[in-house]
Chains A and B, each alone.
Chain A
Amino acid sequence: MYVAVKGGEAAIANAHKLLADRRRGDRTVPALRIDQIVQQLGLAVDRAMGEGSLYDRELAALAIIQARGDLIEAIFLVRAYRTTLPRFGYSNPIETEKMRIERRISATYKDLPGGQLLGPTFDYTHRLLDPALAEGQDIPAPETRPGDESVAPRVMDLLAGEGLVEPDRHNDEQEINGFQREIGDLTREPLQFPLERDLRLQALARGDEGFLLALGYSTQRGYARSHPFAAEIRIGEVEVELDVPELGFAVSPGRIQVTECQMVNQFKGSAKAPPQFTRSYGLVFGQAERKAMAMALCDRALRARELGEDITAAAQDEEFVISHSDNVQATGFVEHLKLPHYVDFQAELDLVRRMRAEHAAQAADQSYPEAAE
């Protein structure tokens, strides 16, 4: 009986024991190790880190194993751990211009300072299942060359030199309605609509890849079309720096891998802004190109209010997009429908029964004259 009036405790304990058993599977098959997941399912790990908002490959890998490969469950595990961590401070903005680049492409220029670097990409592979992988064949070492110490300038900065692109904001403070305001933190302060771009980008960075992908796609198909060009996508490692007040200078706790996507969008001008190229931005932990691109498309669509564009499509609707982009929240609320609701259902049952009885009585009354005819 589902309505366990007694015995819920034992049932829960037994269910979790069974879960652990199913997670482990056939005991003759070797158990997965954290390092195997980190090394060989790196993109799953990156997604769990990105949407889990915690840069820790081992913990993300542990979460993936614990979640039996269910990435949203893994993201949830990472978030629930992250929320207990003390906050020491905020890092300085990372300088993606100084990135140690592994991949960098531009769709707007054929060649550019720093060059195009394909890096480890699925692009141009033929999606043919590879039986050799199943046999655990030895993989030859990749081609390498000495690292390029020169800085690859960001494509947007090259464009901005001509004044064709709207200027970028620089400081870690931003001016809003003439007031300087610190950059927000949606994990520490409650989100209150309408948002500024800083909080929107934070929400998008942890937003569900599938949801943002679909919304970004919808803008390409004409629901708030934004005429995007992928000015630059770069993936690589950047230094994280933290100002320590006691020391008086910045220290680096380490490097992180990020994917950055900068798009330019044609803009015909509005009452608020002149014709120019506008910017949109995506930045995600690890290698997550699809997510970074989808994020940039959504970012641009959500700038409609700021740029004085008509808000006509779902992707431009800030409350709609940001309220529903978090998959940990979404999955919790959708799945809570599994919880018992019999008290509410009882109330509705009672109402429907009474209304049906009245309906039947009314129908009987109305049919009476006809029967008499």
Chain B
Amino acid sequence: MSFAPIYNFAYLDEQTKRMIRRAILKAIAIPGYQVPFASREMPMPFGWGTGGVQVTAAIIGPEDVLKVIDQGADDTTNAVSIRAFFAKVAKVATTTHTAEAKIIQTRHRIPEKTLGEGQVLVYQVPIPEPLRFLEPRETETRKMHALQEYGLMHVKLYEDIAKHGRIATTYAYPVKVEGRYVMDPSPTPKFDNPKMHMSEALQLFGAGREKRIYAVPPHTAVVSLDFEDHPFEIQHFIEPCALCAATGVYLDEVILDDHGGHMFVCSDTDNCEERRDAGHRGKLAGHSLEAAE
């Protein structure tokens, strides 16, 4: 017997890609609606981006340039692994520069640089159902979406305010798409929610284990749920990035020692590098992160 399997371009067979493309087209036609699709086993584990990988595999062409980020960084282990996968099975060019990428696959962040027309942002989604933690049953949540019965979600947000004085959801903050479907933006920090609104880029969401694809087409209204007296607001960081001095970007906290010393650096590593190349300097610039260890 032969132990040398040969895989198709971008791994998936053409029939499977066609099936996924149909689901994507339906998702684009009904913004925010979760389209069931026959998710395949991929050569990486469920929960590690198989939904995003299948969406990317279905839309990528040989001429496309791919960027993969995880937690905003191009060099986190899983991003490296997924980028290497497509470089191997599709032989596509890869980049870390947001502006150069045609397809950006992401986990947990939206790049700081505004995405433009023709770019596609592919999100890896663990739990696509925004109502799942309020109602565990698929048969029920499907009905709730069909009837636009989102009272339960508002009650949850209201209870947050009653108990904690604020909405205590910091990531995977629910949004309403084009005034119809309540959607989970994937576990991005709510800081990124406003970037989804009226974006020029196509946003596709793939949940492999849960077998759902959904989409936000370009120029679509994406509004974070809130109340008139408790309007939605994003996180604000007090310090600028310690490396590039950027403000108004999402920062990661890096622990420097065991006496509570820490610094804040850009979560979007590409944006940070470009700023440093352009001459911006934070208070710890000049020390690489490794040196800061």
A residues adjacent to B (C-beta < 8 A) = 1, 3-9, 11-12, 58, 62, 76, 79-84, 86-87, 187-194, 319, 323, 328-329, 331-336, 339-344, 346-351, 355, 358
Contact = CB atoms under 8 A, between A and B. Distances in A.
B46 A329 contact: yes
Contacts of A83: 40-42
Given A80-B42, A335-B45, A190 B78 contact: no
Given A332-B47, A339-B48, A344-B187, A62 B75 contact: no
Contacts of A340: 70-71, 76-78
Interface string B129-172: 00000001111000000000000000000000000110010111
Given A187-B38, A333-B47, A343-B108, A3 B253 contact: no
A191 B36 CA distance: 8
Contacts of B168: 351, 355
Interface string B196-215: 00000000000001010000
A7 B109 CA distance: 21
Secondary structure dominating the interface of A: helix
B235 A347 contact: yes
A337 B290 CA distance: 25
Nearest to B269: A5
A342 B72 CA distance: 10
A328 B189 contact: no
9 contacts: A7-B75, A76-B45, A83-B41, A84-B13, A188-B38, A343-B109, A346-B252, A347-B235, A351-B168
Contact of A319 (B107, B139, B191): B139
B52 interface: no
B45 A331 contact: yes
Given A1-B290, A84-B5, A194 B139 contact: yes
A328 B46 contact: yes
Contacts of A80: 41-43
Given A3-B254, A5-B289, A347 B164 contact: no
Interface of B: 1, 3, 5, 7-8, 11-13, 15, 36-43, 45-48, 50, 70-73, 75-81, 84, 107-109, 126, 136-139, 164-165, 168, 170-172, 187-191, 209, 211, 235, 250-254, 267, 269, 289-290, 293
A222 B191 CA distance: 50
Best-surrounded residue of B45, B171, B290 (most CB of chain A within 10 A): B45
Given A339-B70, A347-B171, A193 B139 contact: yes
B47 A8 contact: no
Smallest CB-CB A-B distances: 5 pairs: A332-B46, A332-B45, A336-B47, A347-B170, A190-B36
Contacts of B108: 341, 343-344
Contact of B47 (A5, A12, A194, A335): A335
A82 B41 CA distance: 8
B45 to A, nearest CB: 3
B80 A348 contact: no
Nearest to B16: A83
A250 B36 CA distance: 34
A331 B41 CA distance: 13
Nearest to B7: A84
Nearest to A339: B78
A343 B75 contact: no
A86 B7 CA distance: 11
B253 A343 contact: no
Given A3-B76, A336-B126, A346-B251, 4 more contacts: A8-B79, A58-B1, A344-B189, A351-B170
B75 A8 contact: yes
A333 B11 CA distance: 22
Given A5-B289, A347-B235, A12 B77 contact: yes
A319 B250 contact: no
Given A84-B11, A329-B209, A344-B189, A355 B267 contact: no
A78 B269 CA distance: 36
Name the residue among A82, A83, A347 with the largest chain B CB count within 10 angstroms: A347
A190 B211 contact: yes
A184 to B, nearest CB: 11
Query: Which of A81, A87, A190, A323 gathers most chain B CB within 10 Å?
Result: A190
A343 B41 contact: no
Nearest to B191: A347
Contacts of B289: 1, 5-6
B235 A350 contact: yes
